[in-house]
């Protein structure tokens, strides 16, 4: 990748892991497009706190292919191109098979797979299409996806989530092979529990101590734990990590 200032698109709601990733990339010299689905104010607050200048907000539903084309195009136009994509947008819902009716089961699978897997695939297609056809600029690029420990450890109460993240890992490794001849590195990270707003009530509840005890460190991950790994994967020296899925679970699940 070029040593000039790189340009990154980070999907997600502009908070938690997404905000931390945007901050880490900006600190490393990237100009960043922070994507959100609807909370533009939160995304703007993230952008306002990033080091450097030129950062922007783009918005749209990752599960909507038309919206994906629109916000990726907006990011390309605003930044003058994209060199790094971080697929962070995702949803988590609990619908255990044994206690969920068939209508809810179908609805949950459509929603979760639509965002976590199909949405990731569509954003990736749009960014790779840009990388392959841009008239000038740095060669190559990086695609980094936030997967999950649940793809390996299992998600008994959220099977659609676990399956969607396993699919995202498989997509990562397939594209690592197909895009290498174009100089594009593709990798993923697989966090365990991370202390975000999404899981805050769960960690504060009766299951919190047991969740923290899953790791021998006695805690869950922090967004910065994920962001530092993503920033490394986006760095010029990490191309040879293409195809890898990095476990970020504090030794709570070994494979």
DSSP reduced 3-state for 197: coil
pTM: 0.95
Q: Among 104, 203, 193, 210, which residue's Cα sits nearest to residue 155?
A: 193
Structure tokens at 97: 């098979």
> What would the 3-class secondary structure string for 103-115 be?
HHHHHHHHHHHHH
CA dihedral 188, 192, 195, 200 (to 10 degrees): 120
- Tell me the per-residue pLDDT of 44-103, one tens digit each, with 9 for 90 and over: 999 999 999 999 999 999 999 999 999 999 999 999 999 999 999 999 999 999 999 999
Residue 3 clears pLDDT 80, i.e. is over it: no
DSSP 180: G
Residue 2 clears pLDDT 50, i.e. is over it: no
Q: What is the pLDDT of residue 138?
A: 54
Asked about 161 being catalytic, the answer comes back as yes
Measured N-to-C along each axis, helices 65-79 and 120-133 cross at an angle, to the nearest 10 degrees, of 40
Residue 1 clears pLDDT 60, i.e. is over it: no
Alpha-carbon span 19 to 25, nearest angstrom: 10
137 pLDDT band (50/70/90 cuts)?
Answer: low
Catalytic-role residue among 92, 152, 161, 193: 161
Q: Residue length, the chain?
A: 255
Return all residues near 102 (Cβ < 8 A) that are at least 6 apart: none
Between 3.40.50.720, 3.50.50.60, 3.40.190.10, 3.40.50.10680, what CATH number should domain 7-248 receive? 3.40.50.720
15 pLDDT band (50/70/90 cuts)?
Answer: confident
- Tell me the per-residue pLDDT of 94-124, one tens digit each, with 9 for 90 and over: 999 999 999 999 999 999 999 999 999 999 9
Residue 23 clears pLDDT 60, i.e. is over it: yes
Q: Among 149, 152, 151, 186, which residue's Cα sits nearest to residue 165?
A: 151
Return all residues near 212 (Cβ < 8 A) that are at least 6 apart: 203, 218, 219, 220
Average pLDDT, rounded, for the chain: 94
């Amino acid at each position: 990748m070029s040593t000039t200032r790189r340009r990154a698109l980070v999907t997600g709601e502009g908070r938690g892991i997404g905000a931390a990733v945007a901050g880490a990339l900006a600190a490393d010299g990237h100009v960043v497009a922070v994507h959100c689905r609807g909370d533009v104010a939160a995304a703007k607050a993230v952008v306002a706190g990033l080091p450097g200048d030129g950062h922007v907000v783009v918005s749209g539903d990752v599960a909507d292919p038309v919206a994906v084309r629109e916000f990726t195009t907006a990011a390309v136009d605003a930044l003058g191109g994209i060199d790094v994509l971080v697929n962070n947008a995702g949803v988590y819902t609990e619908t255990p098979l044994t206690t969920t009716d068939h209508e809810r089961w179908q609805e949950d699978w459509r929603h979760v797979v639509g965002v976590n897997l199909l949405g990731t695939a569509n954003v990736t297609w749009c960014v790779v299409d840009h990388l392959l056809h841009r008239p000038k600029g740095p060669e190559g690029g990086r695609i980094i996806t936030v997967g999950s420990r649940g793809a390996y450890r299992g998600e008994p109460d959220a099977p659609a989530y676990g399956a969607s993240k396993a699919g995202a890992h498989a997509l990562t490794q397939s594209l690592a092979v197909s895009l290498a001849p174009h100089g594009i590195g593709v990798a993923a990270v697989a966090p365990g529990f991370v202390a975000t707003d999404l899981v805050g009530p769960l960690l504060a509840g009766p299951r919190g101590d047991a969740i923290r005890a899953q790791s021998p460190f006695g805690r869950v991950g922090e967004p910065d734990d994920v962001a530092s790994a993503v920033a490394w994967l986006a760095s010029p020296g990490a191309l040879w990590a293409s195809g890898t899925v990095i476990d970020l679970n504090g030794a709570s699940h070994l494979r």
